[in-house]
Amino acid sequence: MMNLLPSLARHLTGVVLACGMASAFVPAAPAQAQGQARPTRIVVPFAVGGASDTYTRLVAQKVTEQTGKTIVVENRTGAGGRIAFDYVAKSAPDGATIGLIDATYAMLPGLFPVLPWDIFSDLIPVVMIAQTPFILLVRADGPFRTFDDLIAYARANPGKLNYGSAGVGSVNHIVTERFRSDAKVDITHIPYKGMSEASVALLSGSVDLIIAASPTALTQIQGGKVRPLIVTTPTRSPVLPDIPTAAEAGIPTFVVTNWFGFAVPKGTPGDAIRVLHDDVMRAVAAKDVKDKLLSQGAEVLDLSTPQFGEFVHRETDLWTNVTRSSGIKID
C-alpha cells in the first residue's frame, strides 16, 4: 500500500505561494454552478501536503467535479492554527468562507485559556470529512513485541521509558499524556521540533515509543522499521486488521481519534450550511475518494451538522481536561 499524502498533494492541484500564504484553485467543471457569484474559499490552518491540506483538496476537487462550483483552498499557517481559525471566525458569514478544523482545534482552549474568538459559538462545525486512528509505535528490532510486553516493562520500571512528540502542546504530546494517564504508566516526555525528528529518535533508540497519526505511522510501518502495537479507534483499522485496539489491549478508556471537518462563521445562513454538509457527504461517499481516504486509515462517519457540533464540544471538553490535568503549558 502506498503512502498517498505526497502523491495526492501533487495530483490534486498546483500551488501558488504569495505573502506567506499558499492558495490554489481547484479547477471548476465545465459548467459553473448556477447562481454561484464568487468562489468558495476553504482556509486550511496548516501547510501544503499535510493530512489536513490533502484531505481538504481531495474533497474540494470532488465537490467541484460533482457540482461545478469553483473552490479555492488557501493555507494560512502559524500559531498552531490560531491564525486561520480566528480569520475564519471573523469572516463574513455569507457561506463563501469555510475553515478546516481538526483535533488541534479542540485542544486549543486547554492550552490557551484566552482565545480571540469563542470556540463554542464563533465557528459552527458543519460536517466531518473523516477520522483516523493514532497508532502506538515501537522499534521493529526493539524488545517490545506486544503491547503487553511494553506495559509490563513500563509498570515494573517507572520513569525508565520515554516517548517522543512533535513538541510541547502538540497533538501527539497531548494524546500520549492521555495514554500515560489511562494506562497508569510513568513514562517521560521528550519533545522534538516535529514528528519527523521524533520518528528519527525512535529509530535511533533515543526514545522508546511514539504515538503517531495514521498517515505518518503507516509510512513508517510500511518501511518495516517500526512495529505498531495498538490503534486508538473504537474498532480495528481496516488497513491494520491484525493490530488490536487499545480497548482490546486492556485500556478501554483510551479511545481517541484524529479527525477533520469543516466549520463556518457564526451567522452563516442555514441554507448554506445544509448545502455544504450535503456537498461534502456526497463527495466522501464517492468510491475513489473513499478508497483514497481508506488507504490512509481514514474512515468516513455520516454525522449530521448537530451531531458533528456535539462531537466537537465533547472533544473540546475531553482535551481541555487532559491538558489541564497533565499540567501542559505553552510559554
Contact 76, 84 (CB under 8 A): yes
User: Is 84's pLDDT higher than 80?
Assistant: yes
pLDDT at residue 71, as a whole number: 97
pLDDT at 27 over 80: no
> Residue 133: helix, strand or coil by DSSP?
strand
- How far apart are the C-alpha atoms of 296 and 191, rounded to whole Å? 25
231 neighbors 185 (Cβ within 8 angstroms)? no
Q: Specify the long-range contacts of residues 193-196, CB closer than 8 Å, at least 24 apart.
A: 193/166, 193/167, 194/166, 194/167, 195/165, 195/166
What is the pLDDT averaged over residues 226-251?
96
pLDDT band at 219 (very low <50, low <70, confident <90, very high): confident
HSE-up (13 A, CA, CB side) for residue 171: 21
pLDDT at 251 over 70: yes
Alpha-carbon distances, residue 150 vs 201, 208, 210, 256 (angstroms): 18, 10, 12, 20
Could you tell me what percent of the chain has a pLDDT over 70? 89
Q: What gap in Å lies between CA 284 and CA 280, rounded to an integer? A: 6
- Does the pLDDT at position 4 exceed 90? no
Kindly report the pTM of this predicted structure.
0.86
CATH of domain 133-231: 3.40.190.10
pLDDT at position 17 over 50:
no
pLDDT of residue 37: 64
Q: Please say whether the beta carbons of 136 and 228 come within 8 A.
A: yes
Q: Do domains 4-131+258-326 and 133-231 have the same CATH topology?
A: yes
Give the pLDDT band of residue 30 (cuts 50, 70, 90).
very low
Q: How far is CA 268 from CA 125, 161, 193, 272, 276, in A?
A: 11, 49, 37, 7, 11
- Give pLDDT tens digits for 256-306: 999 999 999 999 999 999 999 999 999 999 999 999 999 989 999 999 999
Q: Are 98 and 123 in contact (CB under 8 A)?
A: no
Say if residues 142 and 227 touch (Cβ distance below 8 Å): yes
With a cut of 80, say whether residue 26 has pLDDT above it: no
User: Rounded CA gap, 236 and 242, in Å?
Assistant: 8
Length of the chain, please? 331
Task: Name the fold adopted by 4-131+258-326.
Answer: D-Maltodextrin-Binding Protein; domain 2 (3.40.190)
Find the helix or strand (DSSP H, E) in which 227 lies: strand 226-231
Domain locations along the chain? 4-131+258-326, 133-231
- Using one digit for the tens of pLDDT, what is the confidence trace for 163-218? 999 999 999 999 999 999 999 999 999 999 999 999 999 999 999 999 999 988 99
- Quote the cell numbers at residue 90: 471573523
What band does 24 get if pLDDT is binned at 50, 70 and 90? low
* Alpha carbon distance 226, 220 (integer Å): 6
pLDDT for 158: 97
C-alpha cell at 152: 509490563
Between 10 and 46, the more confident residue is: 46
* Burial class for 261, CB neighbours closer than 10 Å (0-12, 13-18, 19+): buried
3-state secondary structure of 100: strand
- Tell me if residue 297 falls in helix, strand or coil: coil
Kindly indicate the confidence band of residue 82, based on its pLDDT and cuts at 50, 70 and 90. very high
pLDDT score of 11: 46
What pLDDT does residue 23 have? 56
Q: Mean pLDDT, to the nearest integer, of 130-151?
A: 96
